[in-house]
Structure 1
Amino acid sequence: MLAEITAALGAIKTGSDIAREMAAAHSLDETRGKAPELYGAMAEIQHRLAAMQLAYAALLEERDGLAREVEEIRQARMERERYVLHQLPQGGLVYRFKASRESGAVPHDLCVHCYEGGVKSILQPNGSHLVCPTCKTKLRSKGSAAVASRRGGVCVWTL
Structure 2
Amino acid sequence: MLAEIASALGAIRTGSDIARDMASADSLDEVQGKAADLFGAIAEIQQQLAAMQIAYTSLLGERDALDREVAAMKLATLDRQRYSLHALPLGGLVYRFKATNGRADVAHDLCVHCYDLGTKSVLQPNGTHLVCPTCKLRLRAKGEASPAAKRGGVCLWSV
Which structure is richer in relative contact order (CA contacts within 8 A, separation 6 or more)? 1
Alpha-carbon distance in 2 for matches of 1:136, 1:67: 35
> Which residue in the other structure is 2:13 paired with?
13
Aligned residues: 151
**CA deviation string 1:65-95 (max 9, x = no partner):** 1111111122122212211000112222110
The unaligned stretches of length 5 or more in structure 1 are: 152-159
Which amino acid letter does the alignment assign opposite residue 71 of structure 2? E
Summarize the Cα distance change of 1:7–1:68 in structure 2 as closer, same or farther, 3 Å threshold. same
Identity, % of aligned pairs? 65
The unaligned stretches of length 5 or more in structure 2 are: none
Alpha-carbon distance in 1 for matches of 2:62, 2:44: 27
> Which residue in the other structure is 2:113 paired with?
113
> Which residue in the other structure is 2:53 paired with?
53
**CA deviation string 1:117-156 (max 9, x = no partner):** 22211111122221112222221222895587427xxxxx
User: Deviation of residue 102 (structure 1)?
Assistant: 2.8
Does 1:150 pair with 2:154? yes
Which amino acid letter does the alignment assign opposite residue 117 of structure 2? G
Which amino acid letter does the alignment assign opposite residue 150 of structure 1? V
Q: Which 4+ runs in 1 deviate beyond 4 A?
A: 143-148
Q: State TM-score, norm by structure 2.
A: 0.87
